[in-house]
Structure 1
Amino acid sequence: MALYAISDLHLSLSGDKPMDIFSEDWKEHDVRIRENWLKKIREEDTVLLAGDLSWSMNMASGKEELDFVANLPGRKILIKGNHDY
């Protein structure tokens, strides 16, 4: 079992605020997050998600992002960030 921490994913799976407006390095960052997560995190690991998971402004619009994280391996602990509503 291992403990990991990550923050500021700023997922926009159900919205229109793509991260690649900041630079091409952010293009499809959600795909890279998923690929790297699957390479590293096992079901018995715990991941602390320390805020700013999504650009969504409410729970209904953030459901796709929450489902994205829920479907990844490991136990997740979510903490609200300064952009989380």
Structure 2
Amino acid sequence: MASHTLVTHRILGEVKRAHGCDLDTLAKSLPDLSWSQVFLEVDRLSRRGEVLVTFGAEGRYMIRLPDHKKRAATHSVRP
């Protein structure tokens, strides 16, 4: 079993490389990990705001990286 940090980096790297993808495609691109391992890590990353998960076309869960530029522009920081 791969370490937690290694799984995180591999998932984030694959999502970045693909410019977003659906959950099943992501799991297939990491054949040494089970679908459950990928799902659980995507869930954790989503809760931390490191990936965005949306329900897309054809009933697939789409995963992409957040657009930090838009997020920074729409959130003001108060002292």
Tell me if TM exceeds 0.5: no
With a CA cutoff of 8 Å and minimum separation of 6, indicate the structure with the bigger relative contact order.
Answer: 1
Greater helix share, 1 or 2? Answer: 2
* The structure with more radius of gyration: 2
TM-score, normalised to structure 1, is: 0.30
TM-score, normalised to structure 2, is: 0.32
